[in-house]
Amino acid sequence: MAEFDTDLFVIGGGSGGVRAARIAALHGARVMIAEEYRMGGTCVIRGCVPKKLLVYASHIRHEIEDAAGFGWTIPQVSFDWPTLIANKDKEIARLEAAYTANVEKAGARVLKTRAEFEDAHTLRLATGERVRSKYVLIATGGAPNHGSAIPGIEHVISSNEVFHLPSLPRRILIQGGGYIALEFACIFAGFGSDVTVVYRGDNVLRGFDDDVRAHVRSEMEKEGITILTGCTVKAVDKHGKDFTSHLSNGSSIGSDQVMFAIGRHPNVVNIGLEKAGVGINPSNGGIDVDGFSRTTVPHIYAIGDVTHRLNLTPVAIREGHAFADTVFGKRQIAVDHADVPTAVFCQPEVGTVGLTETQARAQFTHVDIYKSTFRPMKATLSGRDTRMLMKLIVDATSDRVVGCHIVGDDAAEMVQLIGIAVKMKATKADFDATMALHPTAAEELVTMRNPTERHVRQAAE
Ligand SMILES: Cc1cc2nc3c(=O)[nH]c(=O)nc-3n(C[C@H](O)[C@H](O)[C@H](O)COP(=O)(O)OP(=O)(O)OC[C@H]3O[C@@H](n4cnc5c(N)ncnc54)[C@H](O)[C@@H]3O)c2cc1C
């Protein structure tokens, strides 16, 4: 009898787990992958993909409003939430099937069940079966935080439920100031809902460049979204179909949905980590891993959101691929987590790569800032009251562009490409040597000639 039933057991069929299972199987390993909910995980089922579809849907209202300035008369429009949700669900089901088919085609076996450690090599399935595996990959992802148990917390939805609301809320209160909170605030505002954002900090998008934070807030407020900072929701009452949220500043806000998007935690509980001897990283609460995603137990690895490093789909995928190459492909690969481009699909959207101004000024002695805010060309005829922000951060000693931050239409698409230049360590002189492409918004990135600010840090005493 073989010592192990399989070479690799993957717990979690999300972005990272599916990629790892597929590549390991293509390297010739015997692979099993367990998924307790739906194949594809957070990104496909209740994250990036359905969210972006809702962003597209809500942005159409802007297009309709902007059309008049270009001579179009659109007599009457209406929007049907159930149609959008049904079409979105159809697409998600298609993707879920494609994920399952691709991993099976590579030779891995998909187990539609929950799995937990019984010991360091044994997995117990919810079906009652036991599987012994030579290697185990933990790819269980993360889940929304609900925060402290305030009175009425049972009335509050998270990003898990928001994709399945039976009707469009006329009024919604969203607590949170991170990217998920802002994206849903803009989605609902686009559909015409009355939106209030409540955030405990002094400004939204903590961790982003301060100019981006200020610009996004002002653009969202221009769209009619109310943003209340420095306060929290203390209690939620329900009366019939309506809710009243009581805030720490003494005010109360009525709505017909209350959503919390106040952060996510890694899925580390109730999977038997202690039985397997897998350690937790005390600094972030995720599974403790080294540069090759290896845990404190040599044959157990962990990737993606459960390690709480950089919680993004492409990062989980890259980590899953690197794991499979390292363990089964005879190619040791450590993922480089520096200069990862990222976006916030609020409206207008944010694209960002590299360091913020604050980070750059802490790291380098001479920092030049190139900043421009301007009215996009389209807004001249549409009449929309909006401005774009573009900001480059340059280490003035080496002339290297170490950060790029954009707020405006297509910012995410631009930053995906600028990300290549930043990763290649392009200098400001390289940007200047690049011919502008006219007329675009992106040309601003290669035509900002003079720094708007120069910062010199005095040597520490
Ligand atoms: C609303 C929202 C929007 C997002 N938007 C973006 C975006 O625009 N861009 C971006 O890059 N990232 C985005 N993300 C983040 C992205 O979804 C995650 O970083 C990514 O899905 C992480 O992949 P993963 O494989 O680590 O985990 P997941 O995709 O979460 O997969 C983990 C899987 O494990 C399963 N599982 C858990 N425990 C067990 C168990 N014991 N047994 C069996 N199965 C188990 C879960 O059901 C889940 O399917 C978003 C997230 C959310 C919530």
Protein residue whose Cα sits closest to atom 26 of ligand 1? 304
Whether the CB of 159 sits within 6 Å of ligand 1: yes
Whether the CB of 15 sits within 6 Å of ligand 1: yes
What's the confidence (pLDDT) of residue 147? Answer: 86
Q: For residues 229 and 336, what is the distance between their CA atoms, to the nearest angstrom?
A: 35
As a whole number of Å, the end-to-end CA separation of the chain is 69
Ligand 1 mean position to 15 CA, how many Å? 7
Angle at 23 between CA 103 and CA 308, to 5 degrees: 95
Q: For residues 153 and 234, what is the distance between their CA atoms, to the nearest angstrom?
A: 9
Protein residue whose Cα sits closest to atom 12 of ligand 1? 312
pLDDT tens for the chain, 461 residues: list them. Answer: 469 999 999 999 999 999 999 999 999 999 999 999 999 999 999 999 999 999 999 999 999 999 999 999 999 999 999 999 999 999 999 999 999 999 999 999 999 999 999 999 999 999 999 999 999 999 999 999 988 899 999 999 999 999 999 999 999 999 999 999 999 999 999 999 999 999 999 999 999 999 999 999 999 999 999 999 999 999 999 999 999 999 999 999 999 999 999 999 999 999 999 999 999 999 999 999 999 999 999 999 999 999 999 999 999 999 999 999 999 999 999 999 999 999 999 999 999 999 999 999 999 999 999 999 999 999 999 999 999 999 999 999 999 999 999 999 999 999 999 999 999 999 999 999 999 999 999 999 999 999 999 999 886 54
To test ligand 1's pocket by mutation, which of 19, 35, 39, 42 has the most ligand atoms within 8 angstroms of CB? 42
Closest atom of ligand 1 relative to the 180 alpha carbon? 1
Whether the CB of 272 sits within 6 Å of ligand 1: no
Q: For residues 367 and 364, what is the distance between their CA atoms, to the nearest angstrom?
A: 7
62 classed as catalytic:
no
Q: For residues 442 and 411, what is the distance between their CA atoms, to the nearest angstrom?
A: 9
Ligand 1 mean position to 10 CA, how many Å? 14
3-state secondary structure of 217: helix
The alpha-carbon radius of gyration of the chain (Å, integer) is 24
What's the confidence (pLDDT) of residue 370? Answer: 98
Whether the CB of 124 sits within 6 Å of ligand 1: no
Whether the CB of 360 sits within 6 Å of ligand 1: no
- Greatest extent of the chain over all pairs of C-alpha atoms, in Å: 76
What's the confidence (pLDDT) of residue 2? Answer: 65
